[in-house]
Amino acid sequence: MSTDLSALAPRDKAQILAQALPYIRKFHGKTMVIKYGGNAMTDPALQAAFAEDVVLLKLVGINPVVVHGGGPQIETALKRLGKEGKFIQGMRVTDAETMEVVEWVLGGEVQQDIVGLINQAGGKAVGLTGRDGGLIHARKLKMLDQKDPSVEHDVGQVGDIEQIDPSVVKALQDDQFIPVVSPIGYGAQNESYNINADVVAAKLATVLQAEKLLMLTNIPGVLDKQSQLLPELTPRRIDELVADGTISGGMLPKIAGALDAAKSGVNAVHIIDGRVPHALLLEVLGNEPFGTMIRSH
């Protein structure tokens, strides 16, 4: 799929813009939380398209807030140090040394790359971690075994969100900035916690009363056992898919967070394919169903 609009006839361009107008009107002044991850974060052409989309949304009066992951980048950094990543039920086990790596990879390298890309595309992005403005208060995650809830796994400095104070995000939004949030939280003793980025995005969308939560992934959306796209999911269907193993691993926290946000008043939660150039614009400003929509009932 080409992303070059210059090849289009003026009439076609005008038609595209006219089709986007009702959506621009509908979402003007609304907040959208975007979970940025997967190929969209590592492929240079997709990175550039993502940054352009975020800037365009801001320019037409929508307030995007970006929450990013960084699993592959953390893995690369750990390998350089000779450390092997370990996961339990889709969550990274985070000892003190791994936490240091997580902080400098997410809060430094990855966050600043995204800020740079958005600024290069003409936006004004500002990077935040959970420490900034007391954004994300966290405590140690108690992870119970899925099969035997009497067993608790110690996953180290992995955090559970206690509270999000969105005032720093709101202040930046009101001032024409685009917040870029790293999923790192802080505890009562100022200790750092690695938090699943999907969970942070979902909770932030809830607290900001976002119009939409958009989660970019490396798949077209949620797929059934036959690899067919499921255009929408209800809580009951999600339970069935978890029970039969269709939803597992890293998809578990993503779906749990999405469902939580949908039940907490976020109007629309979509899991979309970040490998499609300009996936964000296609979802927000288009009328074609795209990815999987999570419903609250």
- Binding site annotation covers 194? yes
* Rounded Cα distance, 249 and 222, in Å: 13
Q: What is the CATH number of the domain that holds 200?
A: 3.40.1160.10
- Per-residue pLDDT 10s for the chain (297 aa) are 445 556 778 887 788 788 889 999 999 999 999 999 888 888 999 999 999 999 999 999 999 999 999 988 999 999 999 998 888 887 789 999 999 999 999 999 999 999 999 999 999 999 999 999 999 999 999 888 888 889 999 999 999 999 999 999 999 998 899 999 999 999 999 999 999 999 999 999 999 999 999 999 888 888 888 888 999 998 889 989 988 888 887 788 888 888 889 989 898 899 999 999 999 998 998 877 789 999 887
- Binding site annotation covers 156? no
Whether residue 23 lies inside any domain: the answer is no
Whether residue 20 lies inside any domain: the answer is no
pLDDT value of residue 5: 59
Whether residue 225 lies inside any domain: the answer is yes
C-alpha torsion angle, residues 271, 275, 279, 280 (rounded to 10): 70
What is the extent of the structural domain holding 219? 29-294
pTM of the model: 0.91
Whether residue 94 lies inside any domain: the answer is yes
- Nearest residue to 162 via CA among 128, 185, 178, 131: 185
Whether residue 2 lies inside any domain: the answer is no
Number of domains, the chain: 1
Whether residue 6 lies inside any domain: the answer is no
- Binding site annotation covers 133? no
Whether residue 176 lies inside any domain: the answer is yes
Whether residue 13 lies inside any domain: the answer is no
**Strands across the sheet with 178-181, in order?**
125-128, 178-181, 63-68, 31-36, 212-217, 268-273, 292-294, 232-233
What sign does the dihedral 180-293-166-163 (CA atoms) show? Answer: negative
CB atoms within 10 A of CB 71: 18
